[in-house]
Amino acid sequence: MEEKIELLKSILKELHRGASVDELKERFREVLSKVSPIEIPFIEQQLIREGVRVEDILKLCDLHVALFREALESRELSGVSEGHPVDLLVRENEWLMKQAEILGLYASQLMNTDDLGQALNILKTMTRITGELRKVKIHYRKVQMLIFPYLEKRGVSAIPRVLWGREDQVIVKLRKFYEKAVKAIENRTLELAREAGKIAMEISKEIGELIFRENKILYPTVYALFDESEWATIYYESNKIGWLIDTSSFKWKPSVEPKYPYMIKPIVTPEQLAKLPVEVKNILEKSGITPDTYEIKKENDIVLETGFIDKEELEGLLRALPVEITFANKDHRVRMFSESMFHKGFLRTKTIIGRKLEYCHPPRLEPLVKKVAREILSGEKPYRVFWTKVGDRTIRVLIAPVKNRDGEIIGVVELVEDMTDIINNVEEIKKSIMVL
């Protein structure tokens, strides 16, 4: 270890001299081969303890990321195209690695000072960094929501569950760190600052470990298993979720139609198995693979953009909503309505199907009803909200446009919801809020 620390110190000196990361990589290739990328954060923290300034060590981060990228390039992911979801996820990890490393460095510095003022200043810097690091959620969400379902479908559920557990821990710790840091800054306590620092150290370490697991195990696995139609889904859906990095310069586009997990034949071929990282291969060979063959789509299903529902389920779903619906088309004619199991709003009966909207109200309200329907159907107003009473219940009446996928307005809907229990219990509700 001593030797490795000395090595990094010499690299630092070179960086100080003004050498570029690329130049250093070349010159220290042999030297660096003795240092695993995963060791660098620990060595950096050692340097902090020895009194090297954080600002100097930060320069090492770029080198670290560069090394990391090289380490990956040489292995299973060597064939990944620029802009492919795996490529973009790896690039996100580089960004994350750097943020996590910086956080860890400041945390080390914090743990090494006895000066309250300095500690609090460092802590403030750290809250800015964790503010950035919270975006890690956007990275994890793509992994959890887009990649894991395809693994689960193939019967690989342990890896997703373990990873999600660790990712979740990072998110929870980020929250804890922030609470602790705010308290430390408010109360000006070194103890609290150090507790926050300790959590930050853990966050830094755990993000780093997750990056390693993703780059070394998860991505090689899914890259070997998923076909392009699956990557197509992951690509399009990822773009909706967003990226931590600027992806505008990457040209990769899937050349096939997306397939969702429920569409795929969840088979792992021997060729695929052979390509898997050895850790995964061992697990799968030992425990066997039982693919998830559940068929979610049934005959007579109504096929929606976002899933399937049959008529019985649809009617049950409408009844289960806390909202009562009355839907009219562009001709101001009632097409359908629904009743809620949760409350009775305005009386509607089956005799209003086909009825003119304005005839469903007393003449006194006819001008208002016509005006609002026109405002919504013409797009003049995005929606309207009214509050009224039905008996002693406080009712929200929301009038909204119904649009087709092209955004064209094809109808207007009245959405009636009983808000009495919210209006009357705001303080209790605030107290009952759980952070999930």
**Binding residue for a copy of itself, selected from 22, 115, 187, 322, defined by CB under 8 A:** 322
Separation of alpha carbons 101 and 201, rounded Å: 9
Alpha helices (H) in 288-356, listed in sequence order: 311-320
Residue 172 is a binding residue for a copy of itself (CB under 8 A): yes
Number of residues in contact with a copy of itself under rule CB under 8 A: 106
Taking alpha carbons only, the member of 334, 330, 332 closest to residue 408 is 330
Residue 338 is a binding residue for a copy of itself (CB under 8 A): yes
310 phi and psi angles, rounded to 5 deg: -100, 175
> Is the Cβ of residue 57 or residue 156 nearer to a copy of itself in the bound state?
156
Strand partners, 308: 303
Residue 333 is a binding residue for a copy of itself (CB under 8 A): yes
Q: How many CB atoms within 10 Å of residue 339?
A: 15
Separation of alpha carbons 336 and 345, rounded Å: 15
Residue 430 is a binding residue for a copy of itself (CB under 8 A): yes
List of E strands, 299-407: 302-304, 307-309, 323-329, 334-337, 384-390, 393-403
The CA–CA distances, whole Å, from 380 to 10, 17, 92, 374 equal 68, 64, 42, 8
**Binding residue for a copy of itself, selected from 14, 62, 237, 375, defined by CB under 8 A:** 237
Residue 319 is a binding residue for a copy of itself (CB under 8 A): yes
Closest approach, Cβ 410 to a copy of itself, in A, equals 6
129 phi and psi angles, rounded to 5 deg: -65, -45
Closest approach, Cβ 165 to a copy of itself, in A, equals 4
Closest approach, Cβ 87 to a copy of itself, in A, equals 20
Written as one letter, the residue type at 403 is K
Residue 345 is a binding residue for a copy of itself (CB under 8 A): no
Residue 349 is a binding residue for a copy of itself (CB under 8 A): yes
List of E strands, 45-156: none
Restricting to residues 371-400, name those near a copy of itself by CB under 8 A: 383, 386-389, 394, 396, 398, 400
Most distant CA pair in the chain: distance in Å?
90
> Is the Cβ of residue 104 or residue 160 nearer to a copy of itself in the bound state?
160
Residue 348 is a binding residue for a copy of itself (CB under 8 A): yes
**Binding residue for a copy of itself, selected from 262, 268, 277, 281, defined by CB under 8 A:** 262
Residue 436 is a binding residue for a copy of itself (CB under 8 A): yes
Torsion-angle region of residue 354: left (phi > 0), alpha (psi -120 to 50) or beta?
A: left
Closest approach, Cβ 164 to a copy of itself, in A, equals 5
Restricting to residues 197-236, name those near a copy of itself by CB under 8 A: 233-234
> Is the Cβ of residue 3 or residue 427 nearer to a copy of itself in the bound state?
427
Structure tokens at 231: 């990557």
**Binding residue for a copy of itself, selected from 329, 370, 381, 384, defined by CB under 8 A:** 329
Closest approach, Cβ 434 to a copy of itself, in A, equals 5
Length of the chain: 436
Separation of alpha carbons 170 and 180, rounded Å: 15
Restricting to residues 104-133, name those near a copy of itself by CB under 8 A: none
> Is the Cβ of residue 122 or residue 170 nearer to a copy of itself in the bound state?
170
> Is the Cβ of residue 335 or residue 370 nearer to a copy of itself in the bound state?
335
